Structure 1
């Protein structure tokens, strides 16, 4: 398995709103950027705001660092004049509230939603994905909503916006970092994830403190300006501390996943 280093994220300018993706609760959209590529655009003005974008950014780049397939993530600038001609008032309001820096990922044209009844995933890959979601506390990889795509006969992960839910309250993050991930019982790949111990050792060796800091350093300042007294750099450090703490006690979420799997099978 090839482990990838964190790249600098590119920044593109959105030039055309193509179509909404209404199956997403936050109303993401397919949009064209000035590099002539199509992207799935996630808006800062949507439901969970910039915190969903932060979770998407951290989750996606850790996913890529671990060698899993994830569409390229880019920062996407939205001009305040963009969307004035949009007829749908709901979409116009969303575009207006999302002026500035948003997040987008390459649109995988022709990809189909992963169906566990159609495509079998081998034990190692299933274990890698389950481990990742336990680390990130990602509640959104269930049979009802797999957030995985098949593209050119390969499995791609998408949508980590529901991860890192500790940051919606910022309270007791140290305690939350050490908790088992009980929602793993609903993970779509849990029954196949029989190699969690092996994956745990491999992935912990990759996710060093230096690499975690490299990921959180990508979070833009403007997404971290809040009503709190903490600076953007201090908030980045909280994300880094949460992840490094969680890695230091990964056996807690690995054992929880293994027990949930035994109950399942």
Structure 2
């Protein structure tokens, strides 16, 4: 799969409605390119770290061939949101000036329901592998973070991935974790082809591809108050984490296989 060297940047022109099911208060908004986007705000919850996780997670998924809504950088200017009546939303917008993250809004998409929709084993294995690799704790029965659009499965919301960056200590150890949270994955029972998928995906995620994905992170998202590392040093940690995790994929593959055996 070809890789885009950069994302488009759009200007948010109108705040339409919050998506209350999202803990970080994402919202549907219009942009100056004429399209609607689900905006993830840097002023919410875990701040830019959630945006970085979403960006890396979605672009890794895209490179691996998954259906993922187009991502854009969404610019909020200083005046945006001043007329918003809801004080919580107004504070969120005020704290989100600058670059945010937008996902193309999939009109008429419906939430994935594992009771209604059966995913074939190879696709389930691919999604389980992806989430184990990204240490994504948030694709469970409670919150599948998948949509059905045009009769296909689309992956959304990777903001809970890469949780090592919230503590930012001993990333090497976290990179080698077997990721026991995979036992709660909504598609684990169908994931019977993990070994085959591991071989396929490790061929795709070369060091060059991982570096290009990490290079997409805007510098302004890497300027962390209270940290001694420079933005480029922080970027290097993200690359090293992903590269190390890939090299130790056997650990999370075995964990997922054992967890699946316990389920079935």
State how 1:100-179 maps to structure 2 within 5 Å. Answer: 100-179=98-177
Deviation at 1:230, TM superposition (A): 1.2
Higher mean displacement: 163-172 or 227-236:
227-236
What's the counterpart of residue 239 of structure 1? 238
**SS of equivalent to 2:198:** helix
Name structure 1 gaps, 5 residues minimum.
none
State how 1:81-100 maps to structure 2 within 5 Å. Answer: 81-100=79-98
What's the counterpart of residue 65 of structure 1? 63
The match for 2:217 among 213, 219, 223 is 219
Please give the alpha-carbon distance, in whole angstroms, between the structure 2 residues aligned to 1:233 and 1:85: 37
Q: C-alpha deviations, 1:163-189, integer Å up to 9, x for none?
A: 000000110100110010100000000
Name structure 2 gaps, 5 residues minimum.
none
> Would you say the 8 A contact 2:69–2:103 is kept in 1?
yes
Taking only aligned residues, the RMSD between alpha carbons, in angstroms, comes to 0.6
Moved beyond 3 Å, runs of 4+: none
**SS of equivalent to 2:148:** strand
What's the counterpart of residue 196 of structure 1? 194
Q: TM-score, normalised by structure 1?
A: 0.98
What's the counterpart of residue 208 of structure 1? 206
> Would you say the 8 A contact 1:4–1:66 is kept in 2?
no
Deviation at 1:7, TM superposition (A): 4.0
Deviation at 1:6, TM superposition (A): 3.3
Please give the alpha-carbon distance, in whole angstroms, between the structure 1 residues aligned to 2:82 and 2:260: 50
Deviation at 1:8, TM superposition (A): 1.7
Deviation at 1:4, TM superposition (A): 3.6
**SS of equivalent to 1:84:** coil
Please give the alpha-carbon distance, in whole angstroms, between the structure 2 residues aligned to 1:166 and 1:214: 21
What's the counterpart of residue 259 of structure 2? 260
Deviation at 1:33, TM superposition (A): 0.2
